[in-house]
Each structure stands twice: as C-alpha cells, then as structure tokens.
C-alpha cells in the first residue's frame, strides 16, 4: 500500500527526474498577496513569476503545497463531513513550467505518472478539457488513446482559469478517477456531477493568454504550466478507498481520537470524528504558521474552525479540553514532511487547550438554549435571528457554527434578523458609551472591543458574558 508520505515523495521525485527543482511548501499566510486569506493552491507562491514580475529561479519546479480553503473564493468548509473528498486543509502536489514546456509535455508527464508510476487502469480514468481547446483534446487522444466520450468538453469557467481580472489565464484540463457504479454521482458536466463517484484528482492549467484591461486576450509569449493534484484524493485511489478519511493518515488520526474521546468512530459519530481530524490539521498548520484565534480576519477563520471541531468533541462526550491531545499523533505523522509541526507543537497544544477551555464554559449552555429555541420548529424553518445573535454574543457561537448545527436538522437561521440584532447592539453600546463625551478613549474602546470580541466584552462589562461564568 502506498502511504500518504510515500505518495508525496513519489510525486516529487518523479518530477525531479523530469528536470524540476523541488521547492518546499510556502507558509499558509501568503506573503505576496494581501487580498488572499490563505494560500489555496500550489501556484500561489509563484504568482509573481507567472505574471513576469519576478525572474524564475528555475525553468521547472515541483512542490507539495499546504492549502487551506475555508473562506474567500474557495471555501470548502461546509463540504467537510458531507463529501468524501473535501478538506479545509490539504496538500496540493504540483509541477510548474515557467515559460518552459507547455501542453504536450504537461499531458505526457501526467499520463505517465498516473498510468505507469501509479499503475491506474485507463478505463477508470477520464478527462475534461475546455470546450474550445481542440489542441488539448487532440493531445489527450494521441498520448492516452482515450475515446472521445472520455474526453469531455466543458464550456463553463470550471475549465477556464484566470488569476484575476487581468493577467495570465487559460484553459484547463481535469483528470477524474471513476470509483465505480457503487458510488452515486455522474461524470463531469452531467447534472449529478457533484456526487462522489467521479472524483477530480488532478487539474492541469495551461496559461496561454494574457487578459487585457477591457476584455481582450493576447497570446503569452512564453506559455506556462501550473498543475495541482490533491494528495489525499490520490492516496485514497491508490489505497483502494473511496473516502479520503479512510486513508492511512486519517485512520491514524481517527484512532487517536477514539483513544482520547473514548468513543467509537462508527454510526452517528463517524462524521464528528472526520470533522475533528480535518479541523485538527487545519488548526495545527495555521497556528504553526503564526495565526492565533481572534475575532477578526484570519484569526476568526481559525477560531470558527476550532470551535466547529470542539462542538463535535462535545458530541463525543468531551467536557474537558481534548483536541490538544491529538497534536502528538499529527506531528508524528506529518512532522517529517513539515518540521514546523514539531517546532510549534507546544504552541499548537497550548492554543487548542486554551480555546477549548474557554469555549467549554459557554458551549453546553449555548446548546441547551439552541435546543429550547428549536423545540417545536419543523424542518425548513428558521431560527429567529435574535436567538442566533444571543448564541454569538453571549455564548461565543460563530454564526456559521449555529448554521452548521441547524443544517443537520434541515433548518436555517434568519440572517437579516441576526444582522439587525448585531446592528442594534452596536448602536446601543455606542450610545451608552458616548455619555462620557471622551471621543479619543471611545475610539480606543471600540477598537479593543472589536478585537477581543463580544463575549469577552460582556464579561468585562460584568453582564451576562463569559467573565461571569467562571
Ligand atoms: P473540486 O471540483 O472537487 O472542488 P477543484 O476544481 O475546486 O476541486 P482545484 O482548484 O482544481 O480543485 O485544485 C486542484 C486539486 O486539488 C483538485 O484536482 C483536487 O484533487 C484537490 N482539491 C481541491 N480542493 C480540495 C479540498 N477541499 N480537499 C482536498 N483536495 C482538494
Ligand atoms: Mg472546489
Ligand atoms: Mg473541479
Ligand atoms: Mg479543478
């Protein structure tokens, strides 16, 4: 069986043997793009090379890049626990050509790796190309000998990649593995393509054009290649598993959870085990890269992920901090590939333990309130916005946590009621404060409050918040 760690190495050495320079993963917090929350693809650290702003360090490169998709343009947070193939943290394996080789070689390398090195059967594979990209379709036919019905032409933006409103762009081609008729779902381009039968394992981007201001496209003088393969998805295929969470790495994490939570990863509890395993990785890697839980920006994404996992820990019976006890296993499994996990282990454990202790002070009572408020509400109904706001403001439930809990019961939240309650509370707080007439300290006060967040604020003010719940 090919382990996750072996697979990563096989990919990187395959491309080294094809003249690519191996690059270590960049940190999750991008240093070249303030508009991007987290690095979400292997090409992100090379953006300036693709635009021409930076000179390439080599004509070809290969990497295994840490990615987080839990906010912004790519947000897979709500998929976790519901699909077999999505994580909030995953590793993207890639090979890159900086104006060196183009479509022919990219397709050639991909086909060789997948069918020769990995030994996948041709009749389990199909590919998509952008509808207008006759060139790519012809290369696939020549290189792979795939029949026309296995080279699917997709007319949508799913198969046309662009970096932004201007700059490099071009068609892409996705390679899918067919997990067989036992799994529901249709081929790409079909109405039920979102099922888990045909899983996208690799995405090849052909950077061919330069998008101009005003909409026209000119040919890039030196077209480039950017590819991304999902390590966890490929590992599942090679291990004969359908679900990413059944691969060796996740099974080790889940076994550690069984130990810590004294529960079995089966039946109704299985989803909780999977969500915790996913969110543990995301939290640990974000903390290792310097993010700390807070109430704004990146820190709030981290806090939301941690608290979602901790709610699942509560379902499994945790009433004391537990998640931090899983860090050791994660570091054992992934620390060789990512030494920052070893370096930051104490910081990761401390942050998780502290956050869970803090959230556990209000979690149980928040859940009880939620139960009470939804009693008698049927499927399809909405939780009043005011209740969702109270959960947020007094009990530290991020809105998306409440939504996630309710989603399992076919219910939603009255979002406009929530927004109104939030606006009302801000207004009341401002009015109460402005009585002092001290404008400068008011500004400071609101900045502090926005940073520390509502729960802490209420605690500080001595009302119903966390501060009174010790
Ligand atoms: P999907 O359509 O399945 O959501 P995608 O087209 O959004 O995938 P890309 O942006 O093309 O994904 O990323 C390149 C590769 O990274 C994909 O082919 C897939 O193997 C992997 N990948 C993407 N998103 C995730 C995720 N959330 N968890 C695990 N692997 C992922
Ligand atoms: Mg996606
Ligand atoms: Mg896709
Ligand atoms: Mg894709």
Ligand 1 pocket check for 282: Cβ under 6 Å: no
Question: Band of the pLDDT at 446, cuts 50, 70, 90?
Answer: low
Residues 334 and 341: beta-carbon distance below 8 Å: yes
pLDDT band at 456 (very low <50, low <70, confident <90, very high): very low
Q: What is the pLDDT confidence band of residue 459, given thresholds at 50, 70 and 90?
A: very low
The confidence band for 8, taking pLDDT boundaries of 50, 70 and 90, is very high
* Mean of pLDDT values over 206-227: 94
User: 171 - beta bridge partners?
Assistant: 160
Q: Is the C-beta atom of 76 inside 6 A of ligand 1? A: yes
Does position 464 have pLDDT exceeding 90, yes or no?
A: no
Q: Is the CB of 349 under 6 A from ligand 1?
A: no
Average pLDDT over residues 300-309: 97
Which structure tokens are listed for 439? 């404008």
CA distance 259 to 92: 30
Buried b (16+ CB within 10 A) or exposed e, 219-234: ebeebbbbbbbbbbbb
The ipTM assigned to this model is 0.99
Q: Is 263 exposed, middle or buried (0-12, 13-18, 19+ CB in 10 A)?
A: middle
- Confirm if 194 and 187 have CB atoms less than 8 A apart: no
Whole-number pLDDT of residue 164? 86
Q: Which ligand is nearest to the CA of 230?
A: 1
Chain position carrying tokens 């992100």: 44
pLDDT digits (tens, 9 = 90+) for 385-407: 999 999 999 999 999 999 999 99
Residue with token string 């998780």: 352
Neighbours of ion ligand 4 (CB under 5 A): 203
The tens digit of pLDDT for each residue in 173-199 reads 999 999 999 999 999 999 999 899 999
Residue nearest to atom 11 of ligand 1 (CA): 203
431 vs 129, higher pLDDT = 129
pLDDT tops 50 at residue 301 = yes
Q: Does residue 66 have its Cβ closer than 6 Å to ligand 1? A: no
Task: List the residue whose alpha carbon is closest to atom 26 of ligand 1.
Answer: 86
* Segment (H or E) for 60: strand 60-68
Instruction: Kindly state the tokens that stand for 366.
Output: 């928040």
Candidates 100, 104, 110; CA nearest to 56 is 100
Nearest CA among 104, 37, 45, 44 for reference residue 299: 37
CA 125 to centroid of ligand 3, rounded, Å: 15
**Residue 430: pLDDT band with limits 50, 70, 90:** confident
Can you state the angle between helices 439-452 and 454-461, rounded to 10 degrees? Answer: 120
pLDDT at 212: 93
Identify the weakest region by mean pLDDT among 138-152, 262-276, 299-313, 425-439: 425-439
| Residue 203, ligand 1, Cβ within 6 A | yes
Cβ atoms 307, 401 nearer than 8 A: yes
Q: Which two tokens stand for residue 154?
A: 């997709």
pLDDT digits (tens, 9 = 90+) for 39-74: 999 999 999 999 999 999 999 999 999 999 998 778
* Contact between residue 395 and residue 369 where contact means Cβ atoms under 8 Å apart: yes
Helix (H, G, I), strand (E, B) or coil at 305: helix
- Rounded distance from Cα 69 to ligand 2 centre (Å): 9
Q: Whose CA is nearest to atom 2 of ligand 1?
A: 200
Q: How far is CA 130 from CA 43, 118, 163, in A?
A: 20, 26, 17
Quick check: CB of 278 below 6 Å from ligand 1? Answer: no
């Amino acid at each position: 069986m090919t382990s996750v760690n072996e697979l990563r190495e096989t990919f990187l050495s395959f491309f080294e043997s094809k003249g690519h320079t191996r690059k270590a993963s960049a940190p999750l917090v991008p240093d070249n793009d303030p508009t991007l929350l987290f690095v979400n693809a292997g090409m992100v650290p090379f953006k300036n090379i693709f635009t021409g702003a930076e000179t390439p360090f080599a004509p070809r490169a290969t990497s295994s890049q840490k990615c987080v998709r839990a906010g912004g343009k790519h947000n897979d947070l709500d998929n976790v626990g519901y699909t077999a193939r999505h994580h909030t943290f995953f590793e993207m394996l890639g090979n890159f050509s900086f104006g060196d080789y183009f479509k022919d070689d990219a397709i050639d390398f991909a086909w060789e790796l997948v069918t020769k090195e990995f030994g996948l059967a041709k009749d389990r594979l199909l590919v998509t190309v952008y509808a207008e990209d006759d060139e790519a379709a012809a290369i696939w036919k020549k290189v792979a000998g795939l029949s026309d019905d296995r080279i699917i032409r997709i007319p949508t933006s799913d198969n046309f990649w662009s970096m932004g409103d201007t700059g490099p762009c071009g068609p892409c081609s996705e390679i899918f593995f067919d997990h067989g008729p036992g799994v529901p779902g249709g081929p790409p381009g079909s109405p039920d393509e979102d099922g888990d039968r045909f899983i996208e394992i690799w995405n090849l981007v052909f950077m061919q054009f330069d998008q101009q201001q005003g909409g026209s496209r000119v040919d890039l003088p030196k077209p480039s290649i950017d590819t991304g393969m999902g390590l966890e998805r490929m590992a599942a295929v090679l291990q004969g598993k359908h679900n990413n969470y059944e691969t060796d790495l996740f099974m080790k994490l889940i076994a550690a959870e069984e130990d810590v939570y004294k529960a079995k990863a089966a039946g109704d509890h299985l989803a909780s085990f999977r969500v915790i395993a996913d969110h543990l990785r995301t939290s640990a890697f974000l903390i290792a890269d310097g993010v700390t839980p807070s109430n704004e920006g990146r820190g709030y994404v981290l806090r939301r992920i941690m608290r979602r996992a901790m709610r699942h820990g509560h379902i499994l019976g945790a009433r004391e901090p537990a998640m931090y006890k899983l860090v050791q296993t994660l570091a054992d499994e992934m620390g060789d590939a990512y030494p920052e996990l070893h370096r930051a282990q104490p910081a990761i454990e401390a942050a998780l333990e502290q956050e869970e202790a803090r959230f556990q002070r209000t979690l149980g009572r928040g859940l009880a309130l939620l139960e009470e408020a939804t009693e008698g509400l049927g499927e399809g109904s909405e939780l009043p916005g005011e209740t969702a706001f109270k959960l947020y403001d007094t009990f530290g439930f991020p809105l998306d946590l409440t939504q996630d809990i309710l989603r399992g019961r076919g219910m939603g939240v009255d979002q406009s009621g929530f927004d109104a309650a939030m606006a009302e509370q801000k207004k009341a707080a401002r009015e109460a404060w402005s009585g002092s007439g001290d404008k400068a300290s008011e500004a400071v006060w609101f900045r502090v409050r926005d940073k520390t967040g509502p729960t802490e604020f209420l605690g500080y003010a001595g009302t119903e918040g966390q501060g009174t719940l010790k």
